[in-house]
């Protein structure tokens, strides 16, 4: 680098380099090949977004179906539990009735039994 470079010379060469760099990128933006590549990238991005949207819709459909099935199963379990509770209540009522009837029969038998020895003794006499 020669020592005779002045500040003005360096500044001018820097500005010229910046202009050349800017012109290079400006011409690249106007290039039909660059526009074609940008259009291809946009088409690829649009296709990717469409596939993701379709996948998300399918995922939501599956989740909705799973929720529906879970709700049906929960309703079925609740109905089975309700039926089980009704049957248990009926069984308990039947047991109460049978135990009440058995107690009444036992009481009647005891009452008859108390009278039996008296009747037996009355026949002997």
Distance CA 86, CA 89 (A): 5
Identify the residue whose tokens are 């929960």: 74
Q: Is residue 74 part of a domain?
A: yes
pLDDT for res 3: 59
Q: Is residue 4 part of a domain?
A: no
The answer to whether 65 and 72 have CB atoms below 8 angstroms apart is no
Report which of residues 79 and 116 the model is more confident about: 79
Q: What average pLDDT does the structure give for the chain?
A: 86
pTM, 2 dp: 0.45
Identify the residue whose tokens are 């009926």: 90
* Domain containing residue 85: 30-124
Q: Is residue 45 part of a domain?
A: yes
Identify the residue whose tokens are 């088409």: 43
**pLDDT, tens only, 56-110:** 999 999 999 999 999 999 999 999 999 999 999 998 887 777 777 777 777 777 7
Identify the residue whose tokens are 């308990």: 92
DSSP for 9-56 reads HHHHHHHHHHHHHHHHHHHHHH-HHHHHHHHHHHHHHHHHHHHHHHHH
Q: Is residue 7 part of a domain?
A: no
Number of domains in the chain: 1
pLDDT for res 78: 96
The answer to whether 26 and 20 have CB atoms below 8 angstroms apart is no
């Amino acid at each position: 680098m020669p020592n005779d470079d002045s500040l003005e010379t360096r500044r001018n060469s820097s500005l010229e380099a910046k202009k050349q760099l800017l012109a290079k990128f400006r011409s690249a933006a106007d290039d039909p090949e660059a526009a074609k590549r940008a259009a291809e990238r946009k088409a690829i991005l649009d296709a990717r977004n469409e596939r993701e949207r379709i996948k998300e819709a399918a995922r939501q459909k599956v989740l909705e179906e799973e929720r529906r099935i879970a709700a049906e199963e929960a309703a079925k379990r609740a109905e089975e539990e309700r039926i089980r509770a009704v049957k248990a209540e009926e069984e308990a009522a039947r047991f109460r009735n049978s135990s009440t009837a058995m107690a009444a029969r036992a009481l009647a038998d005891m009452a008859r039994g108390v009278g039996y020895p008296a009747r037996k003794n009355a026949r002997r006499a």
